[in-house]
A and B are shown apart, each in its own frame.
Chain A
Amino acid sequence: MAEELAFARKASGLVRGLSMWDAFAVGFMFVVFGIRIFAKVQKVVMVFGIGGCAIIGIALTVTSRASFMVKWDAWVTANHSADLIYSKFPAVVAKAASVPIIPITWNWADTLGVMVAMSWLFAYAYSISFIAGEVKRPDKTIIMSNLFAILVPAAFMLWIGAAMYHSIGFQFLSASGYADNNGIDAIANLPWSTHFVGLAAVMAGGSAFGKFISAIMGLSYVAFTLWWIALSYLAFPRILFAWGMDRMGPKWFTDINPRFASPVKNHLLCFVLGEALLALYFFKFNSTMQNITVTGMQITSVFAVTALAAVLFPYMKRSKGVWDSSPYKTWRFLGLPMVVWGGAVNLVYLALLMYEFVFKKAAGAFTTGSTILFGLVWVLGIIWYFFWKQRSRSVGVDVSMTYGELPPE
């Protein structure tokens, strides 16, 4: 039985790995050959995805705790896991997790830990910045999009969080979260994991209508994932393209293929690198490459720098003209421009996240290997910068001057 279980887990892992590669390949195809199609598809996905989330929210809201307990017990019993009934599940998970008991109410440490997941709320606003040049009236659209990119997911998360607290209960929720994140053997017989979509599917029940609702919820998750991968993929070659334009990378990063009107060579490089890194992540350096080297890298290299820029922006002499002509100059709170508040709040939040990463081992895999990798990426980045700066200087171009502020008088 143990061998069969191990084989099943390996096979399931391989399928997950292949799915990642497939999804990445779909993202590549969209970006290189079908950005117009993607532009149309993404609207459908967005409606479908938000609709699916709404169904999940409704399922969680209308189900009482008693009803969930009955449905859960019936579901686990039908799947040969009677020892996982509602009253026993937290204890089984606590045993697997080697902790005396799953917490029965909230605490600050875990709440701050959850902020790692919350950071993805900012990811949507982050995506908007990559497509900022391609929207109508960016002066209005970007501001509104950033605002709604936070408000809409936040509203959904508050709603779904409150509904789960009500219908599932804190302790069971903690246990199901642990079981889903860590894939414990005890839930191996269950047909799907105990994530929030899975719990909502249990509530929807096994009737034809319940299965239909579950399918919608599951498909919305898959559709959103594909959309997210394509969007993330869009960002990667754009960064390389910008490097090429700024002479901080080879010129061919910017070579436009006349047939597809896109930098196909650049996209192919990103595709190959992306697939190779996925393989490394999946098969070799899973714990080393997650959290600190991905989200931690984003925090230090992108979000924190942007937040700091937002705090300083209204007071910088070099950007005075831009700030003076901004329609948002008059948006103030307690005497300070709103952009300063936004940047400051973001910096505090990012500092909390980094604290969780560095000092709370439970929040992520902050291992020696991941620290070395984190440092290595920074060092390679710095070497890359100075190499290309020197190379450009050798042909007569000083890149530090070409993007510096010119004297305006």
Chain B
Amino acid sequence: MSKLFFVTDIHGSNVCYRKFLNALPIYGADVAVLMGDLTGKVLVPLVEKGNDTWECTLMGQHRDVTTKDELADIKKIIENAGYYWVHQTREEFEDTRSDPAKIDALFKSLVFTRVQEWLDLADERLEGKPFQMYMCPGNDDWFVIDDMIDNAKLVHPCDKRVVQIDNHEMVTSSASNPTPWDTPREMSEEDLETHYRGLVSQIKNQETAIYNFHVPPHGYSLDLCPKLDENLTMAAEEKIHAGSIGAKKVIEEYQPLLGTFGHIHESRGAQKAGRTLLINPGSEYSEGILKGVIIILDKKKVKDYVFTSG
């Protein structure tokens, strides 16, 4: 019997990542899986005003920072929410703001730096500990991140491969179906189904297998999200299924033991698809809350599972 701790979509949140590492001994997990998206969404320039004062716009509010303690606090808030900060003079800020290529390069460098910091921290914390930790990107993550995980010392990569967790083969995919945001790992539904089929064909025993797909299967309660209008504004009352039809077909056809998913933060839950238990632990990374699920795996069944919130 082994205890699997599964977390997804922490989107650059430093506090969630640290909580994740700390959770392993607290929850008594044997194996931990951190699925993407690992990348945050917001860059906050801290613009110097002179005399050790700064200004920034955070969560829609303009803030003046007048002491170094305040500056340290605001950096922490930014990092914990999954955002990135950068010190800039007024000239640097104006120069960057007017050039999308510069913004892109700056943002990517901050994203990659944080992922590398996370991997280094895991190496430090996991040294000599009995836990096994897997990490894989999500559709928001650039492909450079795969190389970084591949080169990590104690964090094991699992994307696009089959890894063994106790008696269970786990196959992972970071890809997604098309989204309104045109992210790096999107595929058409047809290509995605072919991609999934290629991956799951490597599994020897489907009865005990775990499908660890970033995108949940279409049409279940784990892929419901608010409908977006043409301005990408959320509709208050209308929810749509945003999961993958390819994932649905493959899961319903092969009927693995367990499916773990992310991508749709607001659809935390569990549901059965035939004999397969489907779980999406959801995400509240922006609040600094680590949402996850502990799954107790017996040799041939899921003995129990419980959602966590820490």
Contact = CB atoms under 8 A, between A and B. Distances in A.
Nearest to B288: A321
B-side interface size class: 35 or more
B277 to A, nearest CB: 10
Contact of B304 (A133, A245, A325, A395): A395
B61 A402 contact: no
A2 interface: no
B306 A392 contact: yes
Contact of B296 (A39, A325, A395): A395
B80 interface: yes
Interface stretch (B47-55, B148-156, B265-273): B265-273
A335 interface: no
A327 B63 CA distance: 12
B15 interface: yes
A324 B287 CA distance: 10
Given A135-B236, A258-B220, A406-B23, A397 B18 contact: no
B245 to A, nearest CB: 15
Contacts of A397: 294, 296, 304, 306
Contact of B310 (A254, A258, A404): A404
Residue among A133, A254, A402 having the largest count of chain B Cβ atoms under 10 Å: A402
Given A247-B306, A321-B15, A406 B294 contact: no
Interface in A375-409: 392, 395-399, 401-409
B308 interface: yes
A261 interface: yes
Interface string A36-51: 0001000000000000
A334 interface: no
B18 A408 contact: yes
B288 A408 contact: yes
Contacts of A327: 59-61
Nearest to A395: B304
B235 interface: yes
Given A135-B236, A322-B287, A256 B308 contact: no
Nearest to B238: A36
A405 B310 contact: yes
Contacts of B308: 402-403
Q: Is the interface of A mostly helix, strand, loop or mixed?
A: loop
Interface in A54-113: none
Contacts, number: 92
Interface residues of A, number: 33
A255 interface: yes
B232 interface: no
Contacts of A255: 272
A399 B306 contact: yes
B235 A136 contact: yes
A246 B236 contact: no
A193 B125 CA distance: 72
B310 A403 contact: yes
A245 B73 CA distance: 35
Interface in B50-88: 59-61, 73, 77, 80-81
A254 B77 contact: no
A105 to B, nearest CB: 48
A330 B80 CA distance: 20
Interface in A11-26: none
Contacts of B15: 321, 408
Contact of A321 (B3, B80, B221, B272): B80
A406 B307 contact: no
B269 A256 contact: yes
Interface string B106-134: 00000000000000000000000000000
A392 B296 CA distance: 11
7 contacts: A136-B234, A256-B269, A261-B224, A322-B287, A325-B288, A392-B304, A397-B306
Closest 9 CB pairs of A and B: A406-B310, A136-B236, A406-B19, A402-B308, A321-B288, A395-B304, A247-B306, A397-B306, A256-B271
